[in-house]
Amino acid sequence: MGRRADRVPAAPRVGRRLRDPHRPGQPRRRADLLVLTEQLLWYVAYGSNLHAARLDRYLRGGRPPGGLRTYPGCRDCRPPRRTAPGLIPGGVYFAGESRAWTGGMAFYDPELPGRAAVRGYLVTVEQFADVAAQEMYRPPGTDLDLIRVAAETGRATLGPGRYETLLRVGTRDGLPMLTFTAPHRASEVDWTSPAPVYLGMLARGLREAHGWDVATITGYLAARPGVRGNWPRSLVRRLAGEAVAGRDAAEATGTGSRWPPPSAPCGSGWIRVPRGCG
Task: Write down the pLDDT at residue 6.
Answer: 42
pLDDT at site 117: 98
pTM: 0.78
What average pLDDT does the structure give for the chain?
A: 80
Q: What is the pLDDT of residue 262?
A: 33
Cα separation of 260 and 270, whole Å? 5
| Helix, strand, coil distribution of the chain in percent, nearest 5 | 30, 20, 50
Query: What pLDDT is attached to residue 63?
Result: 84
- Please name which of 234, 232, 250 lies closest in space to residue 51, comparing C-alpha atoms: 250
Residue 134: enclosing H or E segment and its boundaries? helix 125-135
